[in-house]
Amino acid sequence: MPAVTVRDLTRHFGDFVAVDHVSFDVEQGEIFGFLGANGAGKSTTIRMLCGLLKPSSGTAQVGGIDVGRDPEGVKRRIGYMSQRFSLYELLSVEENITFFGGLYGLDDDAIARRRDFVLEMAGLRGRERTLARDLAGGWRQRLALGCAILHEPPILFLDEPTGGVDPVSRRQFWALINQLSRGGVTVFVTTHYLDEAEHCHRLALMQAGRIAALGTVHELKGIFSDRAIVEVRTPSPMEALRALDDLPSVEKTSLFGTALHVWLRHGERDTAPLRQRFAERGLETESIEIVQPSLEDVFMDVVERAPGASA
Amino acid sequence: MRKAMAVGRKEFWQIVRDGRTLMILLFVPAFFLGLYGYALNFDIRHVRLAVMDREHNRDSRQLISSFTNSTYFDIVFTETSMADIERLMNEGAIRAALIIPEGMSRDLRSGGVAQVQVIINGDNANTATTVFGYAQAIVRGVSAQFQLEMITGGQRRPPISAEPRIWYNPELTSTLFLVPGLIGFIVMISSVVSTSMSIVREKERGTWEQVRMAPISNVSYVIGKTIPYFAISLVSAFFIIAAAMVLFGLPMRGSWLLLLFTVSLFLAGALGTGLLVSTLVDSQSLAFQVSLLISMLPTIILSGFIFPIASMPAPIRAVTYVVPARYFLAALRAIVLKGVDWHVVNMELAALAVYAVGVLGLASVRLGRERL
């Protein structure tokens, strides 16, 4: 049985449809990524799955419990960690653990046992009495994660869990998440960081209240398997963009960080016409090469093609 | 219950670590008590008086010494002229003047009406009224003596004299009347403000979201949130009462147990009010303003703290029925000044209980809506 089953889940706010007939399953032990721009309906979906918001129609079962019928039952079976690593700043590491354990109804023995586990996991041994506000980002993040799994929930919701944390801490964090997943915990994670989404077993891209694409990272990238993406590095990207406007072999162009990503039309793999055009216009380039599509390419493509997408 | 305890313990740690909240709960009350306790005093003593005596005899001297002996007036100038009085009054050197005209004794003995003039600075109407009352009482007293003297031929003792006995507050010091109001005022403000900040602060910091995700009932959460504030406010309230006894001579004629019960009921209502505010607003600054406004104004104006409820117009008097401080003040005055039993104040206690249950219930319901 899947850990999360969602069927035609819909939520209106007045006339506005925030989530529009969304359906998907998440398997037990899976790391399921939820991507989308702000306002795409990600957080509304998460809030419904966590029992905070009643669905307008459709159903969602989390850990076998219907979120519309028994939101409190859902809350007992899930752990939740938000991007703000909501700890009590004026409480010490130990006191935060004790509080959240108590909030989930753990008795003193259970709290003591889980405290040791969390201290070990988060690498906070010897810092039990440090106030949460004095912890650096990575430690705060791991402590917040620890507090979210004190009651050993089978399903864990992470809402943009790595914001404002250094790359080393992010890597450590994902190692912990993988470890939990191997232990059978289902992880449902939303993120803005596309490189982070590569850690997920499967991804759903949300756009305007609907799921625009769903699949493994490999499957999603497969959308571009028959097409080449050319990455162009140039000191004058805006001029380069204009120069490629009317080139027949180019389908579309986009800025990708400081570089330019150029989609060639189906079957085209030749970068010579691009080089020629840049030479004609006297534009300098540092490199022109065919690259693997990244998730960001997929994401941009999906967002542009989805109905109702603006610009 | 375990969950409520967890919330309560957490809240207590937070209060203790957060100097600001602890200051609102402990230091501000003490500060207010000192400030208001000394500044709020409606008794007028030692009014500076100038005397213009045109009569210069035994009768006029007797009248003047009655003013001096009253302690309400200090004679700062004698042998003045009308021009002097005008100048002194303008300069603010005196607040009142007594003018005894020539022929006062003659008018008295001839059975006519003798007139003396009292001039009072009316720039502060309240003070003027009080001073006028003092002057009138003194003149009346002296005049009764003169009257008696004429009838009995020199024996200056009235056959019947009313000797006033003022109960509960024999010296009629307004401080004794005001301090219970002050206690209510301080307790109300500090507890409403501190609790109103408590949930809003969690909203601002994001911990609120985390708590909402947890399987804890609204009632447990409200109980957990309230208990530490309740305990600290209770200590603070009794500290204020003790300070009022030491500093202002507030008596304690009733039962401490009854007092504890009354203060507890009042506190529960005040804390509930604070919680309710914090479910309605989203920022600490707004919570502070709203809670200050709704706790301070009604408690000062509509509770009988300063303005007697009996003399309010009917529509305003109707509003006072929903001000918890009104009942608290009535009960507190009755307990500490009169030493009454619980059955005398049971209506007030019932009203306080109704308010507390109502507002805590409302806060729970509001909290429930917030959570969904």
Candidates B6, B206, B215; nearest CB to A102: B6
Q: Are B55 and B103 in contact (CB under 8 A)?
A: yes
Residues of B with CB below 8 A from A75's CB? Answer: 213-215
How far is Cα A95 from Cα B1, in angstroms, rounded to an integer? 18
User: A311 pLDDT band (50/70/90 cuts)?
Assistant: very low
How far is Cα B203 from Cα B197, in angstroms, rounded to an integer? 10
Encode pLDDT of B242-266 as tens digits. Answer: 888 888 888 888 899 999 999 999 9
Residues of B with CB below 8 A from A84's CB? Answer: 205-206, 209
Which of A67, A86, A92, A98 should be substituted to probe chain B, the one whose Cβ sees the most B Cβ atoms within 10 Å?
A86
Question: CB distance A102–B7 less than 8 Å?
Answer: yes
For B47-167, CATH gives 3.40.1710.10
Encode pLDDT of A264-303 as tens digits. Answer: 887 777 888 888 888 888 888 888 888 877 777 777 777 7
The reply to whether B19 touches chain A by the CB within 8 Å rule is no
First CA to last CA across chain A, in angstroms? 41
Side-chain half-sphere exposure of B116, counting CA atoms within 13 A: 27
Residues of A with CB below 8 A from B2's CB? Answer: 102, 105, 107
Question: CB distance A103–B3 less than 8 Å?
Answer: yes
Residues of A with CB below 8 A from B205's CB? Answer: 84, 86, 89
Residues of A with CB below 8 A from B12's CB? Answer: none
Candidates B5, B205, B214; nearest CB to A75: B214
pLDDT of residue A147: 92
Candidates B6, B206, B208; nearest CB to A99: B6
For residue B201, the chain A residue with the least C-alpha distance is: A88
Candidates A76, A95, A107; nearest CB to B215: A76
The reply to whether B18 touches chain A by the CB within 8 Å rule is yes
pLDDT of residue B167: 64
pLDDT at residue B171 is higher than 60:
no
* Beta strands A250-256; A259-264: pairing state: antiparallel
Query: And the tokens for A51?
Result: 């029992």
Å from B235 to nearest chain A CA? 23
Which residues have CB under 8 Å from B254's CB, separation 6+?
B334, B335, B336, B338, B339, B340, B341
Q: Are A13 and A22 in contact (CB under 8 A)?
A: no
Residues of A with CB below 8 A from B223's CB? Answer: none
Which of B20, B207, B217, B223 should be substituted to probe chain A, the one whose Cβ sees the most A Cβ atoms within 10 Å?
B207
Encode pLDDT of B189-217 as tens digits. Answer: 888 988 888 888 888 888 888 888 888 88
**Which residue type occupies A8?**
D
The reply to whether A103 touches chain B by the CB within 8 Å rule is yes
**Interior CA angle at A216 toward A215 and A222, to 5°?**
85
Mean pLDDT of B307-331: 87
pLDDT at residue B293 is higher than 60:
yes
How far is Cα A68 from Cα A80, in angstroms, rounded to an integer? 18
Q: Centre a 10 Å sphere on the Cβ of residue B69 and count the other Cβ atoms it contains.
A: 10
**pLDDT, mean over chain B:** 83
**Which residue type occupies A266?**
H
Candidates A75, A98, A99; nearest CB to B215: A75
Range scoring the smallest mean pLDDT among A25-29, A62-66, B102-106, B150-154:
B150-154
For residue A148, the chain B residue with the least C-alpha distance is: B210
Report the complex ipTM: 0.72
Residues of B with CB below 8 A from A82's CB? Answer: 206, 209-210
User: B221 pLDDT band (50/70/90 cuts)?
Assistant: confident
Query: And the tokens for A231?
Result: 């990455």
Encode pLDDT of B5-62 as tens digits. Answer: 888 988 888 888 888 888 877 788 888 887 877 776 666 778 888 998 888 888 888 8
- Coil, strand or helix at B133: helix
Q: Nearest-CA neighbor of A75 among A59, A54, A55, A51?
A: A51
Encode pLDDT of A121-160 as tens digits. Answer: 888 888 989 998 898 888 888 999 999 999 999 999 998 8
Query: And the tokens for A7?
Result: 């069927």
3-state class percentages of chain B: helix first, strand second, coil last, to nearest 5? 70, 5, 25
User: B92 pLDDT band (50/70/90 cuts)?
Assistant: confident
pLDDT at residue B315 is higher than 70:
yes
CA dihedral in degrees (B302, B306, B308, B311; nearest 10)?
-80
How far is Cα A15 from Cα B73, in angstroms, rounded to an integer? 76
Residue with the larger pLDDT of the pair B287 and B305: B287
Q: Are A35 and A57 in contact (CB under 8 A)?
A: no
For residue A96, the chain B residue with the least C-alpha distance is: B10
**Which residue type occupies B23?**
M
Mean pLDDT of B144-162: 65
Map out the domains of chain B as residue ranges: 1-39, 47-167, 174-371
pLDDT at residue B110 is higher than 80:
no
Residue with the larger pLDDT of the pair A39 and A67: A67
Question: CB distance A84–B209 less than 8 Å?
Answer: yes
**pLDDT, mean over chain A:** 86
Candidates B2, B13, B209; nearest CB to A91: B13
